[in-house]
Amino acid sequence: MFDWHLVLGIVAGVISFGAIIPYIKDIVYGTTRPNVVSYILWTVLLLISILAQISAGASWSIAFLVGDLIGTSLVTALCLTGYGYGKYGKIEWVCTGLAVLAIVSWKFTNEPVLAIIFAIIADLMAAVPTVVKTYRDPWSEIPTTWFMIACAAILSIASTTIIDFPNLLFPVYLLLVNGTTGTVAFLGRKMQRKPV
């Protein structure tokens, strides 16, 4: 029997991973400059969300998060080898604290949904430096990558066989935050000339 949930989940995972290929190419060529702190936090938060979703009973929507985690980890590795730029300020400290709170709350309450909620709050705060950077310098981010991840999030949402918060919360959030970042980069590029 054909399982379209499985197919959509796998396609979402492949797209979310594939979205990072043009991004990595632009990083290596020096066009895209990722925020190191954002990517480190996103890697940790994706891992927390995946583990929490597995703990709560995962559906095929998890394939999207796994693909995104692999791609994000690759960008983090590039950042740690000298690509991108890093600035550790108040927002980054708050994000780190929320990530720790997500792990602690999950450990002591045994409620994976709490871990996912704290991970989303921390992820959103980790996204703020990237969105602000993209607004100021839209050519520092490639819209295609962000839109591909947003599309993968839509497929992920459609792929779930368990309609509940643990399976839908993070993919819906990633649809919104990636769609927003891609839109800011796309519209910003329309309004600003490409720097020489």
Q: In the predicted model, what is the mean pLDDT of the chain?
A: 86
User: Is residue 127, in this structure, part of any structural domain at all?
Assistant: yes
User: Is residue 36, in this structure, part of any structural domain at all?
Assistant: yes
Interval 15-26 mean pLDDT: 92
CA distances from 73 to 13, 23, 66, 133, 190 (A): 14, 13, 10, 20, 30
d(CA 192, CA 148): 23
Q: How many domains does the chain have?
A: 1
d(CA 92, CA 25): 26
For the entire predicted model, the pTM comes to: 0.83
- pLDDT by residue (tens digit) across 28-78? 988 888 888 788 888 988 898 888 888 878 788 889 899 999 999 999 999
pLDDT surpassing 90 at residue 105: no
Supply the range of the domain harboring residue 166: 4-191
User: Is residue 196, in this structure, part of any structural domain at all?
Assistant: no
User: Is residue 133, in this structure, part of any structural domain at all?
Assistant: yes
pLDDT surpassing 70 at residue 88: no
- pLDDT by residue (tens digit) across 129-182? 788 889 989 998 899 999 999 999 999 999 988 888 888 888 899 999 999 999
Query: Which has more pLDDT, 38 or 196?
Result: 38
